[in-house]
Amino acid sequence: MSDFLGVGWAFPIGLDARKRFALARHERDIEEAIYIILLTPKGQRVMRPEFGCGIHDLVFAPNDATTAGMAAYHVETALAMWEPRITVKSVETQADPRDQARLLIHIHYEIKATHDRRSLVFPFYRIPGEE
């Protein structure tokens, strides 16, 4: 099972107490991979321009239901494409009541190898325009 869940560099990249690259293991490695996928705009990686998430195209989009739906779509599509160790169960969006520029994206997923259900909240920051 641990082979399937994996081990990778911790994100953000850093050193451990023994001055070696810090590693993330198992479930933590999957969670960090999700953040890497979502934080990478498509086209950023020269050798793999299709990698990443299209959510960054919405930075200047209005704060409305259409933008929220598009954000959920981009997140679900990117995770289905780039993280084979999970099954996305649902992606829900919610405007942050304390910050109108922030959209909270609730991601519910299951780790395929263990059937362990997990969730995380990804904050997406928009740049509000004149709405």
Please compute the mean of the pLDDT values over residues 97-125 and round it to a whole number.
Answer: 94
Residue 119 contacts residue 108 (beta carbons within 8 Å)? yes
Which pLDDT value is given to residue 1? 47
> Domains in the chain, please, with CATH?
2-125 (3.10.450.40)
**E strand or H helix at 38:** helix 27-39
Which pLDDT value is given to residue 86? 95
Please compute the mean of the pLDDT values over residues 64-84 and round it to a whole number.
Answer: 96
Q: Regarding predicted confidence, which is higher, 28 or 22? A: 28
Which pLDDT value is given to residue 23? 65
Of the pLDDT bands very low, low, confident and very high (cuts 50, 70, 90), residue 128 is confident
Phi, psi at 39, each rounded to 5°: -85, -5
